Amino acid sequence: MQSFKFLVSSSLLAFVLILLSSPLLTSPQPQTQPQPQSPSIACRSTPYPKLCRSILSSFGSSPSDTYNYGKFTVKKCIKQAKKLSKVINNYLSHHKYAPASRLDAGAMQDCAELADLNVFYLEKISAELKSADSMTDALVDRITSLLSGVVTNQQTCFDGLVDAKSSFAGVLGEPLANMTRLYSVSLGLVTHALDRNLKKNKRKGAKTPIVLKNGFRQPLESLIQALRQTSHCKNKSTECGPIPRGQRKLVEGDGNHGILINDTVIVGRYDGDNFTTIGEAIAAAPNNSNPEDGYFVIYARQGYYPEYIVVPREKKNVMLIGEGKYKTVIAGNHNRVDGWTTFNSSTFVAHPPSPSLYCHRHRHLHHQDPHFTDTNITFQRPQSFLSQKSSLPLNHTSTKYQLPVLQQITSLCQLKQDLPLAFTLLQQNNGLHESLDSLQQKEAMGLLLQACGRHRDIETGRKVHQMVASSTLFHNDVVLNTRVITMYSMCGSPVDSRLVFDDLEGKNLFQWNAMVSGYSRNQLHEEALRTFIDLVTKTEFKPDNFTLPCVIKACGGILDVGLGQGVHGMTVKLGLLGDVFVCNALIACYGKYGHVHEAVKVFDFMSQKNLVSWNSMIRVFSENGFSRESFSLFRKMLECEESLVPDEASLVTILPVCAGEGDVKMGMVFHSLAVKLGLSQELMVNNALIDMYSKCGWLSYARTLFSKDGNKNVVSWNTMIQGFSIEGDVGGAFDLLRKMQVAKGEKANEVTILNVLPVCLEKSELLYLKELHGYSIRHSFQYDELVANSFVAAYAKCGLLCSAQNVFNGMEEKTVNSWNALIGGYAQNGAPTRALEFYLHMKNSGLEPDRFTLDWTSRRSSTSLSSNDFKWNST
């Protein structure tokens, strides 16, 4: 892994250094070459986009299309799979690494067999991915089945090691996890590419029905297709009856390869279906079958099956297939890998999120206890599950070994729409799920609280909080109460966090930290500092490296230099100045104060720096006008010993420096780097590039980036409108504003209005100004102080003093800036008496003038009024 990271960093460094020194930059060329699909876009189809982009950064001909990316990752997978297979076989062959028990040995032997099987599958996949122009249903199903099997095999190996309590679980855990992520990335890319190519190449029109005959061998995907056609026949005929017995192969080839199908049954409620429940179908499966006998396939029609599925140990080689693509949800399976494949690795497997299916025949070798699976099945999308059934009708049977509900909850916590289902699984008859022991109950509630905070689902979070509070076992639990506090603050409700905090009988440092962090997260900096002072003065706890970064952020938020320096001194006394998180916070804080020298001292003092450290220091230089230092530090970051690879934050920080300097050549260097890293299509980076090109006067380049579909938010529109405004193109700005009004999903906001106004003033375009004002009134933007003040100043500059005063009179709250806009308008238009009159009105309202107010009135009144008319000293 370290060598891979070093190679990526080295190649990036060489790439950037060449660009920085290239004489071709004297006549820069834009990135206008058509891109079938950038790595950034392609990686969105994978569960690990950042890992995907890192892998594709070494792709020689990037940008390319998704199909080539997929083939590239498959080759990477083959190389790594062979290495893993060699490592596992080395452990088995050396006596000093001999497994401690028979179960341990069985688990390792399974891993070795699965690793070899993965190499075989991947090589077959690589051979199949020859031409993007010859996609068929059968080929797509075969490739995705095999690749899903590779992902499942990997997790099955790890599950076996854990269940056998193998001593190798710790040694192989990280390599197996890394390989699983690599396989999942490849699965995402290949599946996405195959689906796209299949849609492009598939012939339209009805297909010839597939008729299954006794003894006829065919691939599993053909069997599934026939089953789906058969299951749609409501009036049963000879062609739509039960599938006859016959062995069928998953992989075409010699008789010694592939997984065989022995018999198939259909579960449904039509006349002629074999069974009405899945449990009955499982019971009909043969006992203790061998892989050579083939699999017993259970095909379940689309529908709701409110049953508790049990697959006893003796029911081996069972395969369960649900009718319809994207309609099978198995809530309660053994595990879920990356959202791509769900499986029970001991007996059967189903893959709801993708149309591919795969089944294992290994894990039963080393299990001694009866192996049960707690599974609930509905053939719908996960988010519609609770709308059909508010609670899961489980008829639980106590067993010695069960697949844990905890892993089901962990899987469901990945998506916000699945959180209610996760909570329902945790509950049963208004209590906690009886299959969980106390430690598992605590872990499940903690996972749910974290997920609710992460997804900002305060409704489900309140239910979990109520569960914790009403439990005699957990109502005083330190960890859970801390997570409740954090959950509320992450959901934007620090008031609820405070209520929970105040009700705690005994508070520890973690709970104090949660409160400080929560206030800081919600921009309540003064409350964060008050809580910190209470912590220091009213308790015996000492702030740690979690407390101080939040406090330092709060100091920067209120721009209190003295307080920030005081906290800095406290970090020195507590011996925490060497902590990277504390130092990062100090750098950012000093940057907000404008104390660049102090920030540099902290940065240079750090013995270890992470990517956030470099990004923070570059931002300090950028925001304080040190452009040359920003560029120099970015280059040093690429050359540093940590071999850091720039991320989105790095590029979003450095691109505004190019925009501020008007240095389009350097901006193109970083644009090229973004393309090389696969980050150019990331929304924040794309917006920064649009801003850079616009401010550098390269509006056509900005429009090219903006015009790309599916990569816009309101910031994108505002940035592009500002670009037209900077160029003085009032027509272009308003055309884009009108398009924004009808665009799906994005609407103008106050920033949009403020970006358009300057071009109206510059061109004195009264019609455009009134159109913009009307739009603001319709959308209630005129109540915003900045917008209202801008319209007052705009009308005044155009000589429409009555309109300016009407806008002023309509303001609910008038600030000094509001009065200045009106006073300045009258002063500019030769009405000094009115200017001084409104000055007096402002004084009478209780507001004190600032230097801008005095400047307007003094300059205008000195030419038209005598000094006796107004006593400046009296003010």
Q: Which of 492, 511, 540 is the last residue of a domain?
A: 492
Confidence of residue 856 (pLDDT cuts 50, 70, 90): low
Residues 164 and 78 in one domain: yes
* Cα 809 from Cα 520, distance rounded (Å): 37
Res. 490: pLDDT tops 90: yes
Q: Which of 206, 186, 183, 205 is nearest to 194 (CA)?
A: 186
- Which of the pair, 459 or 377, is modelled with greater confidence? 459
Query: Mean pLDDT in the chain?
Result: 73
The pLDDT of residue 649 is 92
Confidence of residue 808 (pLDDT cuts 50, 70, 90): confident
Residue 254: DSSP 8-state: S
* Cα 638 from Cα 219, distance rounded (Å): 51
The pLDDT of residue 432 is 57
Region label for 85, one of left (φ > 0), alpha (ψ between -120 and 50) or beta (otherwise):
alpha
Element (H, E) at 319: strand 318-322
The pLDDT of residue 338 is 29
Could you tell me how far CA 480 lies from the centroid of its own chain? Answer: 25
Highest-pLDDT range among 96-105, 255-264, 404-413, 492-501: 492-501
Element (H, E) at 431: strand 431-432
Res. 5: pLDDT tops 90: no
Q: What is the pLDDT of residues 402-440, one digit of tens each?
A: 345 777 788 788 888 888 888 888 876 445 555 677 788
Domain assignment present for 153: yes
The pLDDT of residue 846 is 77
Confidence of residue 330 (pLDDT cuts 50, 70, 90): very low
Residues 122 and 163 in one domain: yes
* Cα 231 from Cα 323, distance rounded (Å): 8
Kindly report the number of other CB atoms within 10 A of residue 400's CB atom. Answer: 8
The pLDDT of residue 291 is 67
Residues 307 and 231 in one domain: yes
What is the number of structural domains in the chain?
A: 3
Q: Mean of the pLDDT values across residues 834-844?
A: 80
Q: What is the pLDDT of residues 612-623, one digit of tens each?
A: 999 999 999 999
The answer to whether 664 and 31 are in contact (CB under 8 A) is no
Residues 58 and 143 in one domain: yes
Per DSSP (E only), the strands in 191-311 are 248-249, 260-267, 295-300, 304-309
Domain assignment present for 249: yes
From 177-191, 199-213, 811-825, the region with the lowest mean pLDDT: 199-213
Residues 230 and 329 in one domain: yes
Confidence of residue 55 (pLDDT cuts 50, 70, 90): confident
The pLDDT of residue 387 is 31
Say whether 649 sits in a helix, a strand or coil: helix
The answer to whether 297 and 289 are in contact (CB under 8 A) is no
- Which of the pair, 401 or 130, is modelled with greater confidence? 130
- Which of the pair, 802 or 685, is modelled with greater confidence? 685
Q: Could you tell me the CATH number of the domain that includes residue 169? A: 1.20.140.40
Residues 247 and 385 in one domain: yes
Q: Which of 392, 421, 455 is the last residue of a domain?
A: 392
Largest CA distance in the chain: 115
Residues 6 or more apart whose CB falls under 8 angstroms from that of 185 comprise: 43, 46, 47, 48, 51, 52, 55, 73
Q: Which of 425, 225, 250 is nearest to 325 (CA)?
A: 225
Domain assignment present for 541: no
User: CA-CA distances (angstroms) from residue 676 to 30, 646, 673, 807?
Assistant: 14, 11, 5, 50
Domain assignment present for 444: yes
Confidence of residue 450 (pLDDT cuts 50, 70, 90): very high
Res. 17: pLDDT tops 60: no
743-750 contacts: CB < 8 A, separation 24 or more? Answer: 743/712, 743/717, 746/712, 746/713, 746/714, 746/717, 747/714, 747/779, 748/714, 748/717, 748/775, 748/779, 749/714, 749/718, 749/781, 750/781, 750/784, 750/786, 750/787
Phi, psi of 426 (to 5 degrees): -70, -25
Residues 63 and 196 in one domain: yes
Quote the domain boundaries for residue 305: 217-392
The pLDDT of residue 872 is 40
Domain assignment present for 579: no
Domain assignment present for 508: no
Say whether 131 sits in a helix, a strand or coil: coil
Domain assignment present for 620: no
From 522-531, 660-669, 820-829, the region with the lowest mean pLDDT: 820-829
Q: Mean of the pLDDT values across residues 286-292?
A: 78
The answer to whether 798 and 827 are in contact (CB under 8 A) is no
Q: What is the pLDDT of residues 505-558, one digit of tens each?
A: 888 899 999 999 999 999 999 999 999 999 999 988 999 889 999 999 998 888
Residues 367 and 422 in one domain: no
The pLDDT of residue 787 is 86
Element (H, E) at 438: helix 438-454
The C-alpha angle with vertex 520 and arms to 514 and 525, in degrees rounded to 5, equals 130
Res. 360: pLDDT tops 50: no
Q: Which of 504, 508, 514 is nearest to 540 (CA)?
A: 508
Say whether 848 sits in a helix, a strand or coil: coil
Residues 311 and 244 in one domain: yes
User: CA-CA distances (angstroms) from residue 174 to 49, 116, 178, 181?
Assistant: 19, 19, 6, 11
Residues 129 and 239 in one domain: no
Residues 6 or more apart whose CB falls under 8 angstroms from that of 45 comprise: 66, 188, 189, 191, 192
The pLDDT of residue 854 is 67
Residue 847: DSSP 8-state: P
User: CA-CA distances (angstroms) from residue 149 to 145, 396, 619?
Assistant: 6, 30, 46
Say whether 326 sits in a helix, a strand or coil: coil
Res. 89: pLDDT tops 70: yes
Highest-pLDDT range among 62-76, 238-252, 434-448, 634-648: 634-648
Pairing relationship of beta strands 318-322 and 260-267 according to DSSP bridges = unpaired
Sheet hosting strand 335-337, strand order edge to edge: 335-337, 341-343, 349-350
Q: What is the pLDDT of residues 97-150, one digit of tens each?
A: 566 677 777 788 878 888 888 888 888 888 887 755 556 666 776 777 777 778
Domain assignment present for 810: no
Residues 242 and 371 in one domain: yes
The answer to whether 839 and 822 are in contact (CB under 8 A) is no
- Per-residue DSSP letters for 338-390? TTTEEE-TTS-EE-TTSS------SGGGS--S--B--EEEESS-GGGHHHH-S
Question: Which tokens in the block code for residue 391?
Answer: 């609670």
The answer to whether 364 and 316 are in contact (CB under 8 A) is yes
Residues 342 and 441 in one domain: no
Res. 727: pLDDT tops 80: yes
Q: Mean of the pLDDT values across residues 180-200?
A: 77
Q: Which of 433, 458, 492 is the last residue of a domain?
A: 492
- Which of the pair, 205 or 295, is modelled with greater confidence? 295
Highest-pLDDT range among 8-12, 800-804, 830-834: 800-804
The pLDDT of residue 199 is 59
Q: What is the pLDDT of residues 696-717, one digit of tens each?
A: 989 888 988 888 766 788 898 9
